[in-house]
Amino acid sequence: MSFAQKTPTPAASTARPHHWLQVILAGGCFSLAFAPLNWRWAVVPALFLLLKALQGRSPKAAARLGFVFGMAAYGITLSWLWLVFGAFSLALFAILALFTATFGWLCAIVSAHTSHPRTKGWLIAASWLTCEYIRSEYFWLEFPWATPGLAIGPNPLTPWIGVYGVSFAVVVGAAFLMDKATRPSGVGLFVMLGLGAWNWHDQSPPEPKSPVKIMLVQDESSQFDRYLAASTQAEKGTQLIVWPELSSSIDLRQHPTAWDRLRKMAILKDSVFVLGMYAKTADGKGSHNTALAMDQNGTLGTHAKRHLVHFFNEGVPGTGSYPVETPLGRIGTSICFDNDFEDVPRHMTRSGAEFFAVPSMDPAGWGQTQHEQHSELVRMRAAENHRWFAVASSSGVTQIVSPKGKVTARLPTLTEGTLQGVVGREQQLTFYTRWGWMFPGVVITAAGIWMLWGCLSRPRS
């Protein structure tokens, strides 16, 4: 292991004006990889420019540069947050930028203490993965949006190491491009990743196994009568009808008239319904944001939303992640924000979910860009777990996603309507669902041990 001290000179470690311009440019380039433009591979030059600006900087200077990069990258990519939080969104951008600042600081430490270019590239990527994974899954303000893995989209690596593993691979490639000795490896990695992603997207969606005919409702009204009326449009033979998240502000089961009307519709259409509503907690002191699965015989099962949207009152978070047993097979009913994170869909898949029916809500006032960016996350969950996903969103994106993360049907955003389609039942488990989800933890632990051992074993001057 090569972990030798390489202290930069003060002159070399100082951030100059062109470094500040470089990270701002890198942040702007990073934003091009996401909706509305979706120039996915712009994330590669963005990371290269960032790493180039950080090269030779002191930890403090690198942290400042990383912070400015984050403000530019997230401020542009997530500009729709202004529609939700107004000026408070600046504080949110700053919180997210603290993670890229931490990456800059770690990157400078790695560069100062690691002499081998290949080792340096792996440790830089591990530093990025550490910041991204903690920010996305463990920080109190969980936020898994706008990552390199999400920018690339579903690809052959996704069912093996997931979206975080793809982020790691992208940063490794960018870091390898920084050094002449590792540049061919970096180019080769991006060529393989690019060809794999292109081939993955170019393939036709698989024919659904044991097909289930579905109808999804897109309507933001949260009015029971309107959803019931929309359900009458279901084509003959429709087996599953999905309404958006919080289609009802009440527990329909506790209101006999509404519940009877819903059961009569289930009888009329001979369909299973999955819909969003509030339901009392077991102690009766609070409410869960709930996905209810039911048919003509009554309740089949429920799921209480585990990941609640920050700064919004959605009740009490749930604790379980289990599919619902139905006449159509085991259905995963993860709700909206649940699918932004890897744990709920993965747990449901491990517990036997054969496909997913997702009630979701994206208010129209949050804008087109927010809707498009949000819709990408469920596509990653589909590819990670090799499952069909049917998403009924209040104002979009209502979509059907294949097990490879490819959209097979969708409705235009910010409109009302219904979407007919077919999903399939899958039972095989991907490497990711079984073991690959542990990839970030393994990489972060290994890198931490490597760096700690290197510091302890370095001869004292």
This prediction's pTM: 0.94
Q: What is the pLDDT of residue 455?
A: 63
Backbone angles phi, psi at 328, to 5 degrees: -95, 5
84: its two tokens: 């939700």
Backbone angles phi, psi at 419, to 5 degrees: -125, 120
Domain limits, the chain:
10-203+436-457, 212-425
Q: What is the pLDDT of residue 382?
A: 98
Q: What is the pLDDT of residue 8?
A: 47
Q: What is the CATH number of domain 212-425?
A: 3.60.110.10
In this structure, the dihedral spanned by the alpha carbons of residues 318, 320, 326 and 329, taken in order and rounded to 10 degrees, is 130
Over its length of 461 residues, how does the chain's per-residue pLDDT go in tens digits?
445 445 444 446 787 899 999 999 999 999 999 999 999 999 999 999 999 999 999 999 999 999 999 999 999 999 999 999 999 999 999 999 999 999 999 999 999 888 899 999 999 999 999 999 999 999 999 999 999 999 999 999 999 999 999 999 999 999 999 999 999 999 999 999 999 999 998 888 889 999 999 999 999 999 999 999 999 999 999 999 999 999 999 999 999 999 999 999 999 999 999 999 999 999 989 999 999 999 999 999 999 999 999 989 899 999 999 999 999 999 999 999 999 999 999 999 999 999 999 999 999 999 999 999 999 999 999 999 999 999 999 999 999 999 999 999 999 999 999 999 999 999 999 999 999 999 999 999 999 898 788 665 655 54
With beta carbons less than 8 A apart as the criterion, state whether 33 and 46 touch. Answer: yes
What is the CA 23 to chain-centroid distance, rounded? 25
With beta carbons less than 8 A apart as the criterion, state whether 128 and 171 touch. Answer: yes
The edge-to-edge listing of strands for the beta sheet with 329-332 is 324-326, 329-332, 355-360, 389-393, 399-401, 407-410
Q: What is the pLDDT of residue 456?
A: 59
Residue 401: CB partners within 8 Å, gap ≥ 6? 378, 379, 382, 388, 389, 390, 391, 407, 408
Measure Cα distances from 212 to 165, 208, 285, 341, 386 in Å.
Answer: 32, 8, 38, 26, 16
Q: What is the pLDDT of residue 225?
A: 95
99: its two tokens: 């993670």
d(CA 415, CA 429): 36
Alpha helices (H) along 291-332 = none
